Each structure stands twice: as structure tokens, then as C-alpha cells.
Amino acid sequence: MGARGCTATHVLSLLRREQREWLLAPHSTAARRDDEQREPDTATTTITILIIILSIPILLIIVNFIITAWGSSGRLSPKDRGGVEDGPDRIRSAGLVGRLQAQGCGVKDYGNLRFDDVADDAPAGRVMRPRAVGSASRTLAHAVFTAKTDGHTPVMLGGDHSLAIGSIHGHAAAAGGALSVVWVDAHADINTPLTTPTGNVHGQAMSYLVRELHSKIPALPHFSWIKPCVSAKDIVYIGLRDVDPEEHYILKHLGIKVFSMTEVDGLGIARVMEETCDYLFSDAKKPIHLSYDIDAIDPLLAPATGTPVVGGLTYREGIYITEQICQTGLLSAVDLVEVNPKQGTTEAQVLSTVQIAVDVLLGCFGRRRGGNHPAGYRLPEP
């Protein structure tokens, strides 16, 4: 990506009615991990679209969008909401925009992307809320596609990880199908609709997107638009430590590159990131979609999330991942998901989780723990 100017010349309109041909293609897709600890998927009422334009002089990524979404799985009504929908606003209120500006980013927030509730959204086989999730994912995919074709880098703030269906699909469509995905998570989220133990789409998201799994995905209502868009060889997982047997089989059968916490412990995070970059760039350098679940971080540090798993990444490891991906110059979109303020038992736990989420995003867009200074800075003369 080449450098661009610091300001956007237009506003992304999320009210456009035209549909691109790629969105209309009749294909089925994949789902997300179904941990029984987590809230079931339900109808989406809002995807907060916080579109932020970032000017980052020290990077080749100059103009970016941040799209905040509380997930393609939402809740039927306010009384049913599980807390994950509050994540984006807590990240906002923690000063994300101001801190991005302080490190040289020009930021503009365009607000929230909203979805309609879907009544009578009966399960399709094991899959819960397929119509709501499929419809919301399509809307998000169109927004991300538009942002990318307009020359921006979207960042989706969730929300649960089912939003990756729309974000990665839209990103891949804009990239012409040439895309690498780095999935940082405690969970693989690659159950198919036929292997899911709970039916929650947030445990199946990757399966709808992987080309090699297309034949294993049954037809689902409101999912026919999804075209598998990522090859197994272009995916890297980091931080896994709670993988279902069926997911383990899929990962091994497809030869997907995985750095579980066992590998992180054994190799160290520097070696993991070196091998990640060597692996992804061995064929060709493709744009990177970073999909980052806050539960990748150890719950002692980031407890306000829906499916915490002990033994996760340290703060330093979690931030190092973003710094190294940023330095490739190929980071093209980011999901930051699963911050759930209602899962923190104290305000301190919520604040700790939110602050780490903010720091993850700052690392994605140029912050260095060794310090930064503005491009072109000169010491004042006496």
C-alpha cells in the first residue's frame, strides 16, 4: 500500500442500496466456536460503526476506517443483551480516538451501523439465529468492502467473533480474494454447522470463510450470499488453548498453521512472529486481516470477556503481536472483539480489559513501547 493523504474527501454512506455482484453470489459459508459458557447468538439490533480515518505518517497505512461493531449476533431486545454490545462504547470512552490522534493519526468517528431485529428466527439444524447473523454479516461485509475500495483500512470493534464473517468476506472481496488472516484467539472458531456443539455462530465463523471447507457447509437461510474467500494456507492462528476435537481435526486435516500456547511457551513470541511472517510471505505478500479476540490474553489481565481460558498471552506477548504485524506494512483490516463489560466482576476488571483492547489497537497503528516521535520533528533552536 502506498502513502495517502491525511484527510478523507468523502463520507462512507452506509445507506447505499446498490449491491455488488460479489454479495449476490449464491454460496454458503462457515461459523464460530460454540463454547457453552457464552451467550447464545441472537438477532442483531446494532453494529456500531465507528469509522475512523487514521493518518499515520510513520507507516504506509495512511488513511483508515475503524468500524465498531458489537457483533453479527446481537441480542433480541435490551433485556436479553449479554453485555458484549457495550464493548465498543467502553473502548471509545477509554480515549481510543484521542490516543490515536496523539500518535499521529487523524481520526473521524462516523457512528454506529445498525441492524433490524429478525422475528421468528428459528434454528437451522444446530445453527442458532441464522437469519439475523447472515443478514447482519452481509450488511457489515458491504460496509467493509466499500471502505476498502475507497482506500481505507477498517477496524471492527465488537461484539462477538461472528462479525468476522462479514468483515473478512468484505475485505477479501475488495482484495480480489488475495488475503492473509492472522487469528489471535483462545479458540479456533472453526466448527462447521454440523460439528458445532452449541449452535452459536461465533464458534463457527472461520468455517464459512475457508475455501477447503465449502463442501462441508450445508445451506442455511440468509447465508447463501457467502462465498468462501480464504485459503487454508493463508491462515495463521496464535494463542489457541481451548480447541474442540472436531476443530482439531479440521486444523490438522487442512494443514492450517497453528501456534497454540504450547508453541508460544516453547518458542517465545518473537520466534512465533518471525515464523508467522516467514510462513505468510513465503508465497506472496498479501494484505493481512488481523482478527483479535481479547480472550487470547490471559484472563488474569483481561477478565471481562465471555469465554475466558486460563493460560493465555501475557500483556507483552499480546502487544508484541500487533507491533510486528504493523511493521510488515501489510496490515489492511483489524477485528477487535469479545470485550464484555458485564463479565467483569469489578470495575477494575472491566477497565483492565478495555485498556488492553485500546493498547492492542494502538500497537496495530504504530505505537512503539520504546517511544515514538512525530514524522519531521526537529529540536527547537535556542
Q: Spot the catalytic one: 171, 202, 222, 289.
A: 202
- Is 338 annotated as catalytic? yes
CA distance 38 to 83: 11
Asked if residues 46 and 203 have their Cβ atoms less than 8 Å apart, the reply is no
- Is 189 annotated as catalytic? yes
Residue from 292, 291, 295, 269 nearest 353 by CA: 295
Q: Spot the catalytic one: 86, 121, 185, 298.
A: 185
Express the helix, strand and coil content of the chain in percent, nearest 5 each: 35, 15, 50
Q: Which amino acid is at 54?
A: L
Cβ neighbours of residue 371 closer than 8 Å, sequence gap 6 or more:
none
Q: Spot the catalytic one: 86, 244, 247, 293.
A: 293
Phi/psi for 255 (5° steps) reads 70, 35
- Is 35 annotated as catalytic? no
Dihedral sign for Cα 152, 155, 160, 162, please: positive
Q: Spot the catalytic one: 85, 160, 189, 298.
A: 189
Helix, strand, or coil here: 292?
Answer: strand
Q: Spot the catalytic one: 160, 247, 263, 295.
A: 295
Q: Give the largest Cα separation in the chain, rounded.
A: 74
Helix spans in 150-202 (H): 164-174
CB atoms within 10 A of CB 63: 23
Asked if residues 313 and 326 have their Cβ atoms less than 8 Å apart, the reply is no
- Is 202 annotated as catalytic? yes
Q: Spot the catalytic one: 142, 169, 187, 289.
A: 187
Q: Spot the catalytic one: 161, 171, 222, 289.
A: 161
Asked if residues 325 and 68 have their Cβ atoms less than 8 Å apart, the reply is no
Q: Which amino acid is at 216?
A: K
Q: What residues are annotated to the active site?
A: 161, 185, 187, 189, 202, 293, 295, 338
